[in-house]
Copies of this chain bind each other. A is one copy, B any other.
Amino acid sequence: MKIKSVSFKKVFYEYFEPFTISLGTHEEQENIEVCVELEDGTQGWGEASALFVISGETPEMLHKMEVTVKDILIGKEIERYQDLFNMLQNLRATPAVKAAVEFALIDAFCKRFGIKPYQFFGGAKDRLETDKTVGIEDLKTTLTKVERIYKDGFKKIKIKVGRDVKTDIERVVRSKEVAPEASFVVDANQGFTPKEAVEFIQALHRESVSVDVFEQPVFRYDIEGLKFVRWNSPYPVAADESVFTKQDALRVIKEEAVDVINIKLMKSGLSDAMAIIHIAQAANIKLMIGCMGESSLGIRQSIHLAAGTGAFTYLDLDSHLSLKEEKFRGDFKQEGPFIILN
Protein backbone atom coordinates (compact mmCIF):
# COMPACT_ATOMS: atom_id res chain seq x y z
CA MET A 1 0.00 0.00 0.00
CA LYS A 2 1.54 3.27 -1.15
CA ILE A 3 1.88 6.47 0.88
CA LYS A 4 -0.36 9.09 -0.70
CA SER A 5 0.35 12.18 1.36
CA VAL A 6 2.28 13.60 4.28
CA SER A 7 1.28 16.72 6.14
CA PHE A 8 2.85 18.75 8.94
CA LYS A 9 0.87 21.09 11.16
CA LYS A 10 2.09 23.46 13.88
CA VAL A 11 0.18 23.29 17.14
CA PHE A 12 0.56 25.56 20.13
CA TYR A 13 0.13 24.68 23.80
CA GLU A 14 0.42 26.65 27.02
CA TYR A 15 1.78 25.05 30.16
CA PHE A 16 -0.55 25.19 33.16
CA GLU A 17 2.39 26.69 35.05
CA PRO A 18 5.81 27.90 33.88
CA PHE A 19 8.25 24.99 33.97
CA THR A 20 11.89 25.61 34.94
CA ILE A 21 14.85 23.29 34.54
CA SER A 22 18.55 24.09 34.98
CA LEU A 23 18.70 25.08 31.30
CA GLY A 24 15.80 27.57 31.23
CA THR A 25 12.08 28.22 31.73
CA HIS A 26 9.20 27.18 29.44
CA GLU A 27 5.75 28.73 29.40
CA GLU A 28 4.55 27.42 26.08
CA GLN A 29 5.22 24.60 23.69
CA GLU A 30 4.93 24.49 19.92
CA ASN A 31 4.78 21.02 18.41
CA ILE A 32 4.46 19.64 14.89
CA GLU A 33 1.78 17.09 14.15
CA VAL A 34 2.60 14.68 11.35
CA CYS A 35 0.00 12.76 9.37
CA VAL A 36 0.98 10.05 6.90
CA GLU A 37 -1.92 8.94 4.71
CA LEU A 38 -2.01 5.78 2.63
CA GLU A 39 -3.78 5.34 -0.70
CA ASP A 40 -6.72 3.61 1.00
CA GLY A 41 -7.20 6.53 3.38
CA THR A 42 -5.50 4.91 6.39
CA GLN A 43 -3.83 7.60 8.49
CA GLY A 44 -0.83 7.31 10.77
CA TRP A 45 -0.12 10.06 13.29
CA GLY A 46 2.96 11.37 15.01
CA GLU A 47 4.03 14.45 16.93
CA ALA A 48 7.40 16.19 17.02
CA SER A 49 8.15 18.08 20.22
CA ALA A 50 11.53 19.64 20.85
CA LEU A 51 13.10 21.82 23.53
CA PHE A 52 15.62 24.18 21.97
CA VAL A 53 17.96 24.08 24.99
CA ILE A 54 18.11 20.30 24.76
CA SER A 55 18.37 19.59 21.03
CA GLY A 56 18.82 22.94 19.26
CA GLU A 57 15.65 22.37 17.23
CA THR A 58 13.05 25.12 16.76
CA PRO A 59 9.40 24.52 15.77
CA GLU A 60 9.99 26.62 12.65
CA MET A 61 12.84 24.46 11.39
CA LEU A 62 10.97 21.28 12.25
CA HIS A 63 8.00 22.51 10.24
CA LYS A 64 10.23 23.25 7.26
CA MET A 65 11.23 19.58 7.08
CA GLU A 66 7.83 18.78 5.61
CA VAL A 67 9.15 19.15 2.06
CA THR A 68 12.05 16.78 2.66
CA VAL A 69 9.86 14.19 4.35
CA LYS A 70 7.34 14.33 1.50
CA ASP A 71 10.19 13.75 -0.95
CA ILE A 72 11.32 10.70 0.98
CA LEU A 73 7.94 9.10 1.65
CA ILE A 74 5.32 9.85 -0.98
CA GLY A 75 4.73 6.97 -3.38
CA LYS A 76 6.64 4.48 -1.23
CA GLU A 77 5.20 1.22 0.09
CA ILE A 78 4.34 1.32 3.79
CA GLU A 79 5.25 -2.40 4.02
CA ARG A 80 8.88 -1.44 3.37
CA TYR A 81 9.13 0.64 6.50
CA GLN A 82 12.71 -0.41 7.21
CA ASP A 83 13.81 1.14 3.91
CA LEU A 84 12.00 4.32 4.87
CA PHE A 85 13.61 4.29 8.32
CA ASN A 86 17.01 3.96 6.64
CA MET A 87 16.33 7.02 4.51
CA LEU A 88 14.99 8.95 7.48
CA GLN A 89 18.34 8.45 9.25
CA ASN A 90 19.41 11.50 7.26
CA LEU A 91 17.18 13.65 9.48
CA ARG A 92 20.03 13.80 11.98
CA ALA A 93 19.59 17.52 12.63
CA THR A 94 15.91 17.07 13.48
CA PRO A 95 15.49 13.94 15.61
CA ALA A 96 12.05 15.14 16.76
CA VAL A 97 10.82 15.04 13.16
CA LYS A 98 12.46 11.67 12.66
CA ALA A 99 10.57 10.43 15.72
CA ALA A 100 7.20 11.76 14.64
CA VAL A 101 7.52 10.49 11.08
CA GLU A 102 8.81 7.06 12.06
CA PHE A 103 5.98 6.65 14.55
CA ALA A 104 3.40 7.86 12.04
CA LEU A 105 4.69 5.21 9.62
CA ILE A 106 4.40 2.43 12.20
CA ASP A 107 0.98 3.76 13.20
CA ALA A 108 -0.20 3.56 9.59
CA PHE A 109 1.41 0.12 9.13
CA CYS A 110 -0.34 -1.15 12.25
CA LYS A 111 -3.71 0.32 11.30
CA ARG A 112 -3.44 -1.24 7.88
CA PHE A 113 -3.07 -4.68 9.47
CA GLY A 114 -5.36 -4.13 12.44
CA ILE A 115 -2.61 -4.35 15.06
CA LYS A 116 -2.27 -1.96 17.98
CA PRO A 117 1.18 -0.34 17.98
CA TYR A 118 1.97 -1.68 21.45
CA GLN A 119 1.19 -5.18 20.20
CA PHE A 120 3.45 -4.63 17.21
CA PHE A 121 6.21 -3.73 19.70
CA GLY A 122 5.60 -6.95 21.63
CA GLY A 123 2.52 -6.42 23.79
CA ALA A 124 4.44 -6.93 27.05
CA LYS A 125 2.23 -4.62 29.14
CA ASP A 126 -1.03 -2.74 28.88
CA ARG A 127 -0.67 -0.69 32.06
CA LEU A 128 2.13 1.69 32.99
CA GLU A 129 2.87 3.92 35.96
CA THR A 130 4.58 7.25 35.38
CA ASP A 131 6.20 9.75 37.65
CA LYS A 132 5.34 13.46 37.61
CA THR A 133 7.83 16.29 37.61
CA VAL A 134 8.41 19.39 39.71
CA GLY A 135 10.59 22.03 38.08
CA ILE A 136 13.19 24.16 39.81
CA GLU A 137 11.32 26.30 42.35
CA ASP A 138 12.08 27.83 45.70
CA LEU A 139 11.84 25.53 48.70
CA LYS A 140 8.29 26.45 49.62
CA THR A 141 6.87 26.07 46.12
CA THR A 142 8.76 22.81 45.63
CA LEU A 143 7.18 21.35 48.76
CA THR A 144 3.70 22.60 47.82
CA LYS A 145 3.97 21.02 44.38
CA VAL A 146 5.49 17.75 45.61
CA GLU A 147 2.69 17.45 48.14
CA ARG A 148 0.04 18.14 45.52
CA ILE A 149 1.46 15.53 43.14
CA TYR A 150 1.76 13.02 45.96
CA LYS A 151 -1.86 13.60 46.95
CA ASP A 152 -2.85 13.06 43.33
CA GLY A 153 -1.59 9.51 43.75
CA PHE A 154 1.90 9.69 42.23
CA LYS A 155 4.34 7.51 44.15
CA LYS A 156 7.24 8.42 41.89
CA ILE A 157 8.15 12.07 41.76
CA LYS A 158 10.82 13.74 39.69
CA ILE A 159 12.48 16.86 41.02
CA LYS A 160 14.54 19.10 38.79
CA VAL A 161 17.80 20.19 40.37
CA GLY A 162 21.15 21.47 39.14
CA ARG A 163 21.06 25.17 40.06
CA ASP A 164 22.55 25.19 43.56
CA VAL A 165 23.79 22.17 45.49
CA LYS A 166 22.78 23.29 48.98
CA THR A 167 19.30 24.48 48.03
CA ASP A 168 18.75 21.39 45.89
CA ILE A 169 19.70 19.06 48.75
CA GLU A 170 17.25 20.84 51.04
CA ARG A 171 14.48 20.77 48.42
CA VAL A 172 14.78 17.01 47.94
CA VAL A 173 15.38 16.07 51.59
CA ARG A 174 12.42 18.14 52.76
CA SER A 175 10.21 16.65 50.03
CA LYS A 176 10.33 13.37 51.96
CA GLU A 177 8.29 15.01 54.70
CA VAL A 178 5.39 15.85 52.39
CA ALA A 179 5.62 12.65 50.31
CA PRO A 180 6.79 10.04 52.79
CA GLU A 181 6.15 6.92 50.70
CA ALA A 182 7.36 8.39 47.41
CA SER A 183 10.61 7.62 45.65
CA PHE A 184 12.37 10.33 43.70
CA VAL A 185 14.14 10.88 40.42
CA VAL A 186 16.51 13.82 40.67
CA ASP A 187 17.40 15.42 37.36
CA ALA A 188 20.19 17.99 37.11
CA ASN A 189 19.98 18.51 33.33
CA GLN A 190 23.78 18.89 33.23
CA GLY A 191 23.72 21.57 35.92
CA PHE A 192 26.41 20.22 38.26
CA THR A 193 30.13 19.77 38.00
CA PRO A 194 31.15 16.18 38.68
CA LYS A 195 32.26 17.08 42.20
CA GLU A 196 29.08 19.00 42.97
CA ALA A 197 27.06 16.08 41.67
CA VAL A 198 28.79 13.65 44.01
CA GLU A 199 28.41 16.05 46.95
CA PHE A 200 24.69 16.39 46.16
CA ILE A 201 23.90 12.71 45.74
CA GLN A 202 25.93 11.54 48.74
CA ALA A 203 24.08 14.08 50.90
CA LEU A 204 20.76 12.59 49.79
CA HIS A 205 22.08 9.16 50.72
CA ARG A 206 23.14 10.31 54.19
CA GLU A 207 19.61 11.62 54.66
CA SER A 208 18.17 8.27 53.50
CA VAL A 209 16.18 9.79 50.66
CA SER A 210 14.69 7.11 48.41
CA VAL A 211 16.24 8.00 45.04
CA ASP A 212 15.44 5.82 42.04
CA VAL A 213 17.70 7.58 39.56
CA PHE A 214 20.09 10.54 39.41
CA GLU A 215 19.68 11.90 35.91
CA GLN A 216 22.25 13.66 33.76
CA PRO A 217 24.27 15.18 36.62
CA VAL A 218 26.92 16.77 34.40
CA PHE A 219 27.59 18.42 31.04
CA ARG A 220 26.44 16.20 28.21
CA TYR A 221 29.87 15.81 26.61
CA ASP A 222 31.68 15.09 29.87
CA ILE A 223 31.54 11.30 29.69
CA GLU A 224 34.50 10.94 32.03
CA GLY A 225 32.71 13.18 34.56
CA LEU A 226 29.56 11.11 34.18
CA LYS A 227 31.57 7.98 34.90
CA PHE A 228 33.08 9.60 38.00
CA VAL A 229 29.59 10.40 39.29
CA ARG A 230 28.35 6.91 38.47
CA TRP A 231 30.98 5.19 40.56
CA ASN A 232 30.65 7.65 43.43
CA SER A 233 26.88 7.69 43.61
CA PRO A 234 25.08 5.18 45.84
CA TYR A 235 22.07 5.50 43.50
CA PRO A 236 21.81 4.63 39.79
CA VAL A 237 23.07 7.37 37.48
CA ALA A 238 21.39 7.97 34.13
CA ALA A 239 22.49 9.57 30.87
CA ASP A 240 19.86 11.75 29.23
CA GLU A 241 21.29 14.57 27.13
CA SER A 242 24.51 12.54 26.72
CA VAL A 243 22.63 9.93 24.67
CA PHE A 244 20.72 10.92 21.57
CA THR A 245 21.82 8.29 19.04
CA LYS A 246 22.52 4.59 19.31
CA GLN A 247 26.18 5.46 18.82
CA ASP A 248 26.03 7.67 21.91
CA ALA A 249 24.51 4.75 23.81
CA LEU A 250 27.24 2.39 22.69
CA ARG A 251 29.87 4.90 23.77
CA VAL A 252 28.60 5.42 27.34
CA ILE A 253 28.32 1.65 27.66
CA LYS A 254 31.81 1.03 26.30
CA GLU A 255 33.13 3.56 28.78
CA GLU A 256 31.08 2.08 31.64
CA ALA A 257 29.82 5.59 32.37
CA VAL A 258 26.19 4.94 33.40
CA ASP A 259 23.79 2.61 35.20
CA VAL A 260 20.72 3.79 33.26
CA ILE A 261 19.96 5.32 29.87
CA ASN A 262 16.99 7.65 29.49
CA ILE A 263 15.52 7.08 26.04
CA LYS A 264 13.33 9.78 24.55
CA LEU A 265 11.79 9.29 21.16
CA MET A 266 12.39 12.98 20.46
CA LYS A 267 16.15 12.51 20.85
CA SER A 268 16.50 9.25 18.96
CA GLY A 269 13.51 8.58 16.79
CA LEU A 270 11.87 5.19 16.96
CA SER A 271 14.67 3.44 15.06
CA ASP A 272 17.51 4.49 17.35
CA ALA A 273 15.28 4.06 20.40
CA MET A 274 14.77 0.40 19.44
CA ALA A 275 18.50 0.02 18.92
CA ILE A 276 19.30 1.58 22.30
CA ILE A 277 16.87 -0.79 24.01
CA HIS A 278 18.73 -3.76 22.56
CA ILE A 279 22.19 -2.35 23.27
CA ALA A 280 21.30 -1.51 26.87
CA GLN A 281 19.73 -4.90 27.49
CA ALA A 282 22.83 -6.65 26.17
CA ALA A 283 24.91 -4.60 28.62
CA ASN A 284 22.47 -5.09 31.51
CA ILE A 285 21.98 -1.32 31.66
CA LYS A 286 18.53 -0.30 32.89
CA LEU A 287 16.25 1.91 30.84
CA MET A 288 14.16 4.97 31.53
CA ILE A 289 11.76 6.54 29.05
CA GLY A 290 11.20 10.28 29.12
CA CYS A 291 9.57 13.02 27.12
CA MET A 292 9.98 16.60 25.93
CA GLY A 293 6.79 18.67 25.57
CA GLU A 294 4.53 16.13 23.91
CA SER A 295 0.76 16.49 24.08
CA SER A 296 -1.52 13.47 24.53
CA LEU A 297 -1.03 12.78 20.81
CA GLY A 298 2.74 12.71 21.12
CA ILE A 299 3.08 10.97 24.47
CA ARG A 300 1.07 8.12 22.97
CA GLN A 301 4.14 7.26 20.89
CA SER A 302 6.27 6.59 23.96
CA ILE A 303 3.42 4.85 25.75
CA HIS A 304 3.03 2.30 22.96
CA LEU A 305 6.79 1.72 22.81
CA ALA A 306 7.10 1.36 26.58
CA ALA A 307 4.09 -0.90 26.95
CA GLY A 308 4.91 -3.07 23.95
CA THR A 309 8.57 -3.70 24.70
CA GLY A 310 8.17 -3.76 28.47
CA ALA A 311 11.79 -2.64 28.48
CA PHE A 312 11.64 0.33 30.83
CA THR A 313 12.26 0.27 34.57
CA TYR A 314 11.62 4.00 35.04
CA LEU A 315 8.83 5.94 33.34
CA ASP A 316 8.70 9.70 33.04
CA LEU A 317 5.83 10.25 30.63
CA ASP A 318 4.08 13.26 32.07
CA SER A 319 4.46 16.14 29.60
CA HIS A 320 0.82 15.91 28.49
CA LEU A 321 -0.25 16.38 32.11
CA SER A 322 1.36 19.83 32.14
CA LEU A 323 -0.09 21.20 28.90
CA LYS A 324 -3.49 22.84 28.38
CA GLU A 325 -5.15 20.73 25.67
CA GLU A 326 -8.52 21.47 24.17
CA LYS A 327 -9.09 17.83 23.47
CA PHE A 328 -7.46 14.69 24.82
CA ARG A 329 -6.10 12.78 21.83
CA GLY A 330 -4.44 9.72 23.35
CA ASP A 331 -5.71 6.20 22.80
CA PHE A 332 -5.10 5.44 26.46
CA LYS A 333 -6.76 6.23 29.75
CA GLN A 334 -4.95 8.30 32.37
CA GLU A 335 -5.87 7.60 35.98
CA GLY A 336 -3.51 9.57 38.20
CA PRO A 337 -0.11 8.03 37.59
CA PHE A 338 -1.55 5.06 35.72
CA ILE A 339 -1.71 4.80 31.96
CA ILE A 340 -4.04 2.13 30.68
CA LEU A 341 -4.12 0.83 27.13
CA ASN A 342 -7.14 -1.07 25.83
Interface centre among A113, A253, A279, A310 (most CB of B within 10 A): A279
Cβ of A223 under 8 Å from chain B:
no
Whether A22 sits at the interface, judged by CB under 8 Å, is no
CA distance in complex: A82, B311 (Å): 10
Separation of A282 and B245 alpha carbons in the complex (Å): 9
Which residues of B sit under 8 angstroms from A122, Cβ to Cβ?
80-83, 85
A280-335 contacts to B, CB under 8 A, are: 281-283, 308-310
Question: Does A206 count as interface, using CB distance less than 8 angstroms?
Answer: no
A124 contacts the other chain (Cβ, under 8 Å)? yes
Q: A81, A274, A308: which has the most chain B beta carbons within 10 Å?
A: A81
Residue contact B80 to A249, C-beta cutoff 8 Å: no
For chain A, residues 96 to 133, give those with C-beta under 8 angstroms from any C-beta of chain B.
113-115, 119, 121-124
Given A115-B113, A310-B86, are A123 and B279 also a contact pair (CB < 8 Å)?
no
Interfacial chain B residues near A79, Cβ < 8 Å: 119, 123
Assess whether A144 is interfacial by the CB under 8 Å rule: no
Docked Cα-Cα span, A122 to B247, in Å, equals 21
A246 contacts across to B, CB distance below 8 A: 278, 281-282
A82 touching B113 in the complex, CB below 8 Å, given contacts A246-B281, A281-B246, A282-B249: no
Tell me if B278 and A83 are in contact (CB < 8 A): no
Give the nearest-CB partner of A275 in chain B.
B278
Does A69 interact with chain B (Cβ within 8 Å)? Answer: no
The 22 sampled A-B contact pairs (Cβ below 8 Å) are: A77-B123, A79-B119, A80-B122, A80-B123, A80-B124, A81-B122, A82-B122, A82-B123, A83-B123, A83-B124, A85-B122, A86-B310, A246-B281, A247-B282, A250-B253, A250-B283, A274-B278, A275-B279, A275-B281, A277-B278, A278-B279, A279-B282
